[in-house]
Homo-oligomer: A and B are copies of this chain.
Amino acid sequence: MDPHEHIQKIPEGGITSPRGFQAAGAYCGIKKDNGVNKDISLLFSEKPAAAAGTFTQNLYRAAPVELCRERLKNPIQAIIINSGNANACVGSNGYDDALEMGRQTARKLDVPEDSVLVASTGVIGERLPLDNIRSGIEKVASNLNNSQEAGDDAGRGILTTDTAIKKSAYRSTVNGVTFTVGGMAKGSGMICPNMATMLAYITTDLSMDREVLQESLQKAVCHSFNLVTVDGDTSTNDMAVVLANGASGEVLEKDTSAHEVFYLMLQKVCRDLAYQIAADGEGVNKVISLQIKGAPNYEDARTIAQAVLNSLLVKTAIHGEDANWGRILAAMGYSGVDFDPHKVDLYLGHIKVAGSGQGTGFNEEDVLPILQGKEVPITIDMNAGPEEILAWGNDLSHDYVSINADYRS
């Protein structure tokens, strides 16, 4: 069978699309009150769920990240997340405050304390305002439900400088059993391809071994979040977590067709969220979709994608709709990957602009409509191997500077 045939996108779907998951989002005074802001979110699984996660590799890891890593092996029933304050770089208080945030949530939901995951995102170095958090937990715990709107509210409560919520969901039926994968994420600044590097929460109503879930997530993250770059900075708080609660009644066995379909659904959700993150980078006007073909291996392809998509000169050229292909080759050249520069073919859209280390003499007017689009497709064919990846970045605009120059104000 073609596993793709069985997979259907759920319009407007998200974390509450799979059965047995409830959500809520509320405002509790951590962020500025502008009438729209929410700053606390709760995700609740009606049954204890298997959990898997990937986390930031920054040496400065926020306290909630440490707590999640410890609790991931437990059956998980809830994830409580605040935005506006990262609870990072605050010394030992950070861990105590994360514990307290989890404890309050557990008490309110009447679930074991060690079944609650805790996450924070926002300003680094300021103590978590626990009074606000407590009142926020009251609100979200009493508003929990499984509607699409509840999922959207939770999606809003985890945002920082993002301009829109990020969500995706897919459904499939294999051997007569219908199951669903849904997700939400926040992105914006500090996104770069070194795992995590943002918050993402994924739900499924399948049941499966923790090891199978962890393996599937890691692979999906490699081909989605780890291939997004907004500004090259990896934050202290990033994580992607998936919960599998078994509410569909289906127990997924490894290496079955259902497993294959599940992995594809998980990858699709992660890629949708990754694309939405790139498109909603701070001050972004254009998404760059960079395909690397003919690479010797995944690592080399990813390193080159990272160099090109992090290059300020490439980002500003795309912003200016300038076919300055030399900057793309230059970024490849200093990436640290060893390759033969004369074998590389470079395309903007379908038009070959460089090959054999020089320009093709293409007509600039043919390329202009490609550069004027909201999504600029670039293809690098290294002609050096079988590996192929798709990565996403974006242009660098004046607004990026404005947003980040006074983030704390």
Give the interface of A toward B (CB within 8 A). 57-60, 86, 88-91, 93, 123-126, 189-190, 194, 231-236, 310-313, 316-317, 319-320, 322, 324-327, 329-334, 338-339, 341, 354, 356-359, 396-398, 400-402, 404-409
Copies in the complex: 2
* Complex: A390 Cα to B93 Cα, angstroms: 34
Complex interface: chain B residues within 8 A of A91 (CB) = 356-358
Is there contact, CB below 8 Å, between A341 and B60?
Answer: yes
Q: A194 to B406: give the CA distance in the assembly, Å.
A: 30
Residues on the B chain within 8 Å of A409, using CB: 320, 322
Who on chain B is nearest to A61 by CB?
B333
| Contact A90–B358 (Cβ < 8 Å) | yes
> What are 15 A-to-B residue pairs whose CB atoms are below 8 Å?
A58-B330, A59-B332, A59-B338, A60-B332, A86-B326, A89-B357, A89-B358, A90-B359, A125-B326, A190-B330, A231-B313, A233-B311, A233-B312, A316-B401, A320-B406
User: Are A401 and B398 in contact, with the CB atoms below 8 A?
Assistant: yes
Would you call A317 and B233 a contact (CB within 8 A)? Answer: no
**Residues in chain B near residue A194, CB distance under 8 A:** 334
Residue from B89, B232, B404 within 8 A of A320 (CB atoms): B404
Q: Is the CB of B408 within 8 A of A333?
A: no
A320 to chain B, nearest CB (A): 3
A38 to B256, CA, bound (A): 69
Q: Are A404 and B329 in contact (CB under 8 A)?
A: no
Is the Cβ of B398 less than 8 Å from the Cβ of A326? Answer: no
Contact A359 B89, beta carbon cutoff 8 Å: yes
Are B89 and A232 closer than 8 Å at their CB atoms? no
Q: Closest residue to A331 on the B side, CB-wise?
A: B233
Q: Is the interface of A mostly helix, strand, loop or mixed?
A: loop
Q: Are A333 and B59 in contact (CB under 8 A)?
A: yes
Q: Which residues of B contact A405 (CB under 8 A)?
A: 316-317, 319-320, 322
Inter-chain contacts of A329 with B (CB < 8 A) = 60, 89, 124
Instruction: Tell me which of B312, B316, B402, B406 contacts A232 (CB under 8 A).
Output: B312
- Contact indicator B359/A316 (Cβ below 8 Å): no
For the complex, what is the distance from the CA of A326 to the CA of B316, rounded to whole Å?
26
Min CB distance, A88 to chain B, in Å?
7
Roughly how many angstroms separate A320 CA and B403 CA in the complex, as a whole number? 10
Minimum C-beta distance from A48 to chain B (A): 33
In contact, B316 and A404 (Cβ under 8 angstroms): yes
Q: How far is the CA of A38 from the CA of B311 in the complex (A)?
A: 28
Q: Which residue of B lies closest to A360 (CB)?
A: B125
Determine the distance from Cα of A189 to Cα of B396 in the docked complex, in whole angstroms.
Answer: 15
Most buried by B among A125, A319, A325: A125
In the complex, what distance in Å separates the CA atom of A124 from the CA atom of B331? 12
Q: Are B322 and A407 in contact (CB under 8 A)?
A: yes
CB of A247, distance to nearest CB on chain B (Å): 37
| Residues on the B chain within 8 Å of A236, using CB | 326, 330, 333
CB neighbours (8 Å) of A330 from chain B are: 58, 60, 124, 190, 233-236
> CB-CB < 8 A to A396: which residues of B?
401
* Cα–Cα, bound, A317→B234 (Å): 16
A125-B326, A322-B408 given; 15 more Cβ-contact pairs under 8 Å: A59-B333, A59-B338, A59-B341, A60-B357, A91-B357, A123-B326, A231-B312, A234-B330, A234-B333, A312-B404, A316-B404, A317-B404, A317-B407, A320-B404, A396-B401
Task: Please name all residues of chain B whose beta carbon is closer than 8 Å to the beta carbon of A334 when the two chains form the complex.
Answer: 57-59, 194, 233-234
Taking CB atoms, residues of chain B closer than 8 Å to A190 are 313, 330
Q: How far is the CA of A55 from the CA of B226 in the complex (A)?
A: 33
Expressed in whole angstroms, the Cα–Cα distance for A400 and B397 within the complex equals: 10
Bound together, the chains give a CA A339 to CA B124 distance in angstroms of 20
